[in-house]
Structure 1
């Protein structure tokens, strides 16, 4: 599964675990492979070690999620 670059956020329900992380981000569960799964399609992007941009929130495990309705 290809990694996402900071400029290519996309809504998806399965994301790869990023290097250096054993956990899945908030809202995702470990599929016992190298991926994390959510029944909801979230728009996510890797943090690349940086703070999340405006309009995004840090959900852990190296990912930011786009806020919807200004909150979650």
Structure 2
């Protein structure tokens, strides 16, 4: 966590307070990746729900 704090330029105590531990950091990184990937997808409103579900599932797979 010290190396991460150094890279971010923050106090290690602040990082520990807001993130908690290594698992908390991993969770935040994974959430950020999913959010970034899914934000790039524009789901059409004029298509069948099956098509929209397929597009969403494809975007989710790509994020993984």
TM range (shorter): under 0.3
Tell me which of the two structures has the higher relative contact order, counting C-alpha pairs closer than 8 angstroms and 6 or more residues apart. Answer: 1
Q: Which structure's residues are more often helix, by fraction?
A: 2
Task: Please identify the structure whose Cα radius of gyration is greater.
Answer: 2
Q: Which structure's residues are more often strand, by fraction?
A: 1
